[in-house]
A and B are shown apart, each in its own frame.
Chain A
Amino acid sequence: MKDINEIEEMTTEALEAASKSDTVIIPSGLRKSLETALIAEELKNVQSHPKHKPFLIWGPALVAAAAGLSVLFYVANTPKDTFSDPEEAYAQLERTFRYMQSKAEMVNDITENAFNLSK
């Protein structure tokens, strides 16, 4: 009986001739055991790729967790009002807009100077 190394070294033609030879004894039940092995392999493949049901559970949970984290992050990063008195806050806003006006006036001055120079 040939060993596995000798079988691997055989050519295709030699393998075909050996398969047709009546001296090769095929064990009984070989066909059945091969079919069983193939079915078992197929079942293993099916079980290793389960349906996507678990995603339907953790997917919405992930969205809810992201929403919760977003809210927590937003609240944690909200600063405290500088003024407790609305009139003080109003006065600050007024000062700020006056400051913005003074800077805009700078733009007007530059434009006017450029216009005068061009005359």
Chain B
Amino acid sequence: MKKIITAAVSILLTFTLSAQEGRSIYNRYSEAENVSAVYISPAMFRIMGKLPEMNLSGNDVPFSSIVKSLNGFYLIESENSSINASLKADAEKMIRSGRYELLMEARDSGQTVHIYISGDEQTVDGLVMFVDEKDSVAFINIDGNMSRAKLEKLIADSASDTQ
């Protein structure tokens, strides 16, 4: 009985803490100097889901269908050199938790881009993008229940279409 209760308490606390990944990074850095931060809540996404259908120009994926499947958005853009290293470390720690797989990685002219997703073959429940430039870093975390095919088309294929 003691073991069951201890396990239940541990699971509760672990669940709570693990749900804080993007949120804890946002809370830690959003108020810092030279940092731009954006948070969109699940409630706001529900309202946005009622907006008219719109496509990103040059893309045949209905953007609003992706929006309707989202329930959390965190964006941190930092030009504060004193926190960029720790922001990068926190993002890497979040990725190493094991939930995310690398979707694409690129290095060019001192700039590094990483995009990670989590989910299964059909659905993406989390996306993290981290861009590390010389004097700035950008961290984007999107949570939801997105169609993997639509999301990959929106990000990857549409980039080649615009060339």
Contact = CB atoms under 8 A, between A and B. Distances in A.
A89 B162 contact: no
A35 to B, nearest CB: 37
A28 to B, nearest CB: 50
Interface residues of A, number: 41
Give the interface size class of chain B.
35 or more
Contacts of A73: 16
Interface string A85-110: 01101101110111111111111111
A93 B38 CA distance: 10
Contacts of B115: 100, 103-104
Contacts, number: 124
Contacts of A107: 104, 106, 113, 156, 159
A56 B16 CA distance: 25
Given A59-B1, A81-B39, A96-B140, A103 B129 contact: yes
A86 B140 contact: no
A116 to B, nearest CB: 13
Interface of A: 52, 55-56, 59-60, 62-63, 66-67, 70, 73-74, 77-83, 86-87, 89-90, 92-94, 96-110
